[in-house]
Amino acid sequence: MTASDLFDISGKTALVTGGSRGIGLMIAEGFVDAGVTVYISSRKADVCEQVAAELSKKGTCVAIPADLSSETECRRLAGEMASRVDQLDILVNNAGATWGAPLADFDEAAFERVLALNVKGVFHLTKFLVPLLEKAGTQEEPARVINIGSIDGIGVPALETYSYSASKAAVHHMTRHLAKRLAPTITVNAIAPGPFESKMMAATLDAFRDQIEAGAPLKRIGRPDDMAGAAIFLSSRAGAYLTGAVIPVDGGISTTR
């Protein structure tokens, strides 16, 4: 096997949730460039369709809008996928939300809106897609689930985002639990990103970009190819022997803290 064969994912089919912008778009675009047929899903149908049309200029990308904070919508999306494809090689559970408020004001709604998408959505969508992933995966070449966690689920963040940090620690542990359950034909790994340009990170980067970059051992925030590269590695033959791993892609912020 040549080095390029090791990382060749062309011809595979992937679903990237939250693929319409930010980190999900970085991964979806990297997959399209690598010859993967990519389905993206997010709530705003017009944006989702527009991004899919843009990415389809250089490959194949299809939009299936859904609100993944409800089990019903996760089931519907899995059904839509089953009506379009015979098997699913790669599922990227990326869609996520955050919330910040002082401790005394952090109410039930601030927990529910974050946990519903970041934890329950990841679980329910994976559960409903297992049959399609099992059709794609073998012991030699497993199907892949990639959950997007966060370094805020590894170390304590500076901001008062209690439900977010708890949700990401939950995603990391659920990754290990599902990895054990779904082996040997499906691998389940997590990427724990550090700071990347996105709508979610816009206010934080506007206020603290210089401090964040100065404090990171690699002295910069993440680039789209850093994120696409990690997802392509996990989806390729090169990543076939990892499962239950949580991989920080963070310029060394969490690994050297």
Ligand X SMILES: NC(=O)c1ccc[n+]([C@@H]2O[C@H](COP(=O)([O-])OP(=O)(O)OC[C@H]3O[C@@H](n4cnc5c(N)ncnc54)[C@H](OP(=O)(O)O)[C@@H]3O)[C@@H](O)[C@H]2O)c1
Looking at the annotation, which residues are catalytic? 164
3-state helix, strand, coil in the chain (%, to 5): 50, 15, 35
Distance between CA atoms of residues 150 and 59, nearest Å: 29
Name 58's Cβ contacts closer than 8 Å, sequence gap at least 6: 32, 33
Among 159, 183, 200, 245, binds ligand X (CB under 6 A): 200
Among 96, 142, 239, 251, binds ligand X (CB under 6 A): 96
Q: Closest separation between CB of residue 192 and ligand X, Å?
A: 7
The packing angle between helices 22-33 and 224-235, to 10°, is: 60
Distance between CA atoms of residues 103 and 122, nearest Å: 26
Give how far the C-alpha of residue 102 lies from the chain's centroid of Cα atoms, to the nearest Å.
28
Q: Closest separation between CB of residue 66 and ligand X, Å?
A: 6
Q: Closest separation between CB of residue 149 and ligand X, Å?
A: 7
Among 117, 125, 182, 228, binds ligand X (CB under 6 A): 117
Q: How many residues belong to the site for ligand X (CB under 6 A)? A: 29
Which one-letter DSSP state was computed for residue 218? Answer: T
Sign, Cα dihedral of 242, 64, 117, 20: positive
Distance between CA atoms of residues 176 and 189, nearest Å: 7
Residue 199 binds ligand X, judged by CB under 6 A: yes
Residue 69 binds ligand X, judged by CB under 6 A: yes
Among 82, 97, 101, 245, binds ligand X (CB under 6 A): 97
Are 165 and 156 spatial neighbours (Cβ–Cβ below 8 Å)?
yes
Are 77 and 68 spatial neighbours (Cβ–Cβ below 8 Å)?
yes
Residue 176 binds ligand X, judged by CB under 6 A: no
In the chain, how long is the greatest CA-to-CA distance?
58
Residue 43 binds ligand X, judged by CB under 6 A: yes
Q: Which is nearer to ligand X, 119 or 137 (CB)?
A: 119
Which of the ranges 7-15, 37-45, 127-135, 231-239 carries the binding residues for ligand X, by CB under 6 A? 37-45
Among 20, 175, 235, 243, binds ligand X (CB under 6 A): 20
Residue 44 binds ligand X, judged by CB under 6 A: yes
Q: Which is nearer to ligand X, 25 or 136 (CB)?
A: 25
- Name the site residues for ligand X (rule: CB under 6 A): 17-18, 20-24, 42-44, 47, 66-69, 94-97, 117, 148, 150, 193, 195-196, 198-201
